[in-house]
Amino acid sequence: MTPLEEIISTCRQLAFDLNFSRAKAWKAQDPQRVLVGFTPIYFPREVVHAAKGLAVGILGAGDRKPIIKGDAYYQSYICHMPRGIVELALDGNLDGFDGFVFPSICDVMRNLSGMFQLMGKGRFAKYMDFPQNFRAEIGGAFYKAEMEDVLRRIEAINGVQVTADALDRSIALYDRNRAMLAAIYDIRQDHPWRLAYEDLYCIMRAGLVMPVEEHNAMLEQVLEAIGRERGVPEDRIKVVVAGAFCEQPPLGLIKTIEAAGCYVVDDDFLLGSRWIEGAVGGGNGDPLAAIADAYLTRSVQSSVVYDVGNPKEKRLLDLARRRGADGLVFAAPSFCDPALLDQPLYFHQCEKEGVRYVQFQYNENTGQFKVIKEQVGAFADSIKLWEGEAATA
């Protein structure tokens, strides 16, 4: 195997390891280390890193584990991912985690934080309220207080008092991580055949369950490998996928989109890893303020951030144009209010601007991809056969 193939293979195994073995092995090396699980979308992992911890992404059980107990906790009309998370918690997969953070993205995840409190999982289960006010002295101050609260809770476990220098070092590592992911996306924008999206997905997802230092080393090798020509270009359209920011589709569905005649050149599958556009920075003596500023001023567009004065449909179509996409694929989990309530806004804007799109819904354990393959395939064919130029041009 080439070094890139080895990395992909390792990441594929780590990304879907529902026992979080790598993270637990890392923790076992030092009694002061802590594991803090977090649910989608974005969480400032730097904060945990600076406190001698590892922030570990928890993305449900996908199609890798039968959901038996989790279903007893949710009605049929609630999305699938929290069932998987409850199943993992009840089956002991999350044993060894010291705490859990549930970023504010919807009412289901908010109430899941309360369920973890009731189940007594971890030393803490915190719902982290991200500000919807974007002024530094209002929303920024509140967000800093939320991060300080996380630090206090970790300190109560391992006694680590975080310094500004430690935070700056952690910020630099995650800035490097984000910069390399951005560089990979930029290369794939023009040369998507060099790295299948399915493989990139596994590489990104593995980054949520392993130390950032190790992930950065992998990304350097990935960048080095795809910086050169490899693979064979195929006659496919370029698409941006939107709506899948929380509950993840099974890997087979992601593969299906490309196999149906598309190159995914941007997406929101693991949006938290690329949440901050550009660097957080730091080094000004107040690293938490730097993280807050990055959130307030440089967050990607997302269904969970109030978009007044900065319409999401415009931002999404701008992104599609920047990437030279031929069309948009709206893929949202069933019963996801934030994703689905945005869709009419997107659809109407696409229609207004003559941008082609296709839409379907899924669950994290969807097992049949044939219909989606036909739908996306017909979409790709219609553009390849009947459109002369990129529909977003």
Partner 1 sequence: MAKPTAPVEKERSMIMQKEMVEGLFKELATAREKGRKVVYTFVPGNLSELIRAFDMLPVYPEINALQSGMRKKSAAFIRDAEKWGHSEDVCTYVKCDIGMMLNGNVGPTGQKLPEPDLLLLSYTGCFTFMKWFENLERLYPNAEIAMLHTPYQEGGRITDEMRQYMVKQLREEVIPKFEKVSGKKFDEARLAGILANSKRTDDLITEIFAQSRQRPSPIDAYFAGVYYIGPINIGFRGTPEAVTYYEELLKEIKQRAAEGRGPVTPEGEIKEEKYRLVVEGPPNWTSFREFWKLFHDQGAVIVASSYTKVGGVYDLGFRHDPARPLETLAEYCMNCYTNMNLPQRIDLLGKCITEYQADGFLINSIKSCNSFSAGQLMIMRDLEDKLEIPVGFIESDLVDPRYFSYSNIKNRLDSFFQMLAQRKVLATA
Residue 342 as a binder of partner 1 (CB under 8 A): the answer is yes
37 binds partner 1 (CB under 8 A): no
Of the pair 199, 293, the CB lying nearest partner 1 is at 293
Core vs surface per residue 103-124: b (16+ CB within 10 A) or e: bbbbebbeebbebbeeeebbeb
Shortest approach of partner 1 to residue 289 CB, angstroms? 15
Residue 56 bridge partners (DSSP): 37
Q: How far is CA 370 from CA 253, 256, 331, 373, 374, in A?
A: 9, 8, 15, 5, 6
261: region left, alpha or beta (phi > 0 left; psi from -120 to 50 alpha)? left
Which of 100/379 has CB closer to partner 1? 100
Assess 368 for contact with partner 1 (CB under 8 A). no
Does the protein bind partner 1 through residue 68 (CB under 8 A)?
no
Can you tell me which of 138, 217, 371, 393 binds partner 1, judged by CB under 8 A?
A: 138
Provide, rounded to whole angstroms, the least separation between the CB of residue 132 and partner 1. 4
Query: Any idea how long the chain is?
Result: 393
185 binds partner 1 (CB under 8 A): no
Site for partner 1 (CB under 8 A): which residue of 110, 298, 314, 315?
A: 110
* 345 interacts with partner 1 by CB under 8 A: yes
Beta bridge partners of 226: none
Taking CB under 8 A as the rule, does residue 360 contact partner 1? no
Give whichever of 68 and 145 is closer to partner 1, judged by the CB atom: 145
Q: Applying CB under 8 A, which of residues 39, 93, 113, 365 lies at the interface with partner 1?
A: 113
- Classify residue 272 by its DSSP letter: G
Out of 1, 31, 137, 367, name the contact with partner 1 by CB under 8 A. Answer: 137
Q: By CB under 8 A, is residue 108 in contact with partner 1? A: yes
Residue range at the interface with partner 1 (CB under 8 A); choices 22-30, 174-182, 249-257, 342-350: 342-350
47, 151 Cβ separation under 8 angstroms: yes
Instruction: Judge whether 246 and 108 are in contact, CB under 8 Å.
Output: no
Does position 156 bind partner 1 by CB under 8 A?
no
Among 19, 90, 96, 104, interactor with partner 1 by CB under 8 A: 104
231 near partner 1, judged by CB under 8 A:
no
Rule CB under 8 A: is residue 82 a binding residue for partner 1? Answer: yes
58 binds partner 1 (CB under 8 A): no
Instruction: Determine which helix (DSSP H) or strand (DSSP E) holds 270, and give its type and residue range.
Output: none
What does the alpha-carbon distance between residue 361 and residue 366 come to, in Å, rounded to a whole number? 10
Q: How many residues bind partner 1 (CB under 8 A)?
A: 56
Write out the two tokens for 148.
């300080």
Name every residue whose Cβ is closer than 8 Å to that of residue 328 and which is 6 or more positions away in sequence.
Answer: 239, 240, 241, 242, 316, 320, 346, 350, 355, 356, 357, 358
Query: Which residue is associated with the tokens 């406190």?
Result: 51
Q: Which of residues 115-134 bind partner 1 (CB under 8 A)?
A: 115, 117-118, 126-129, 131-133
Residue 335 near partner 1 by CB under 8 A: yes
Of 141 and 279, which has the nearer Cβ to partner 1?
141
340 sits near partner 1 (criterion: CB under 8 A)? yes
Q: Which is nearer to partner 1, 105 or 196 (CB)?
A: 105
Task: Give Cβ neighbours of residue 159 (< 8 Å, ≥ 6 apart).
Answer: 32
CA 236/CA 192 separation, integer angstroms: 10
Residue 36 sits in the site that holds partner 1 (CB under 8 A)? no
Tell me 286's DSSP state: -
Q: Are 372 and 258 contacting, i.e. CB atoms less than 8 angstroms apart?
A: no
Residues forming contacts to partner 1 in the complex (CB under 8 A) are 72-75, 77-78, 82, 104-108, 110-115, 117-118, 126-129, 131-133, 135, 137-139, 141-142, 145-146, 303-304, 306-308, 312, 332, 334-338, 340-345, 347-348, 361
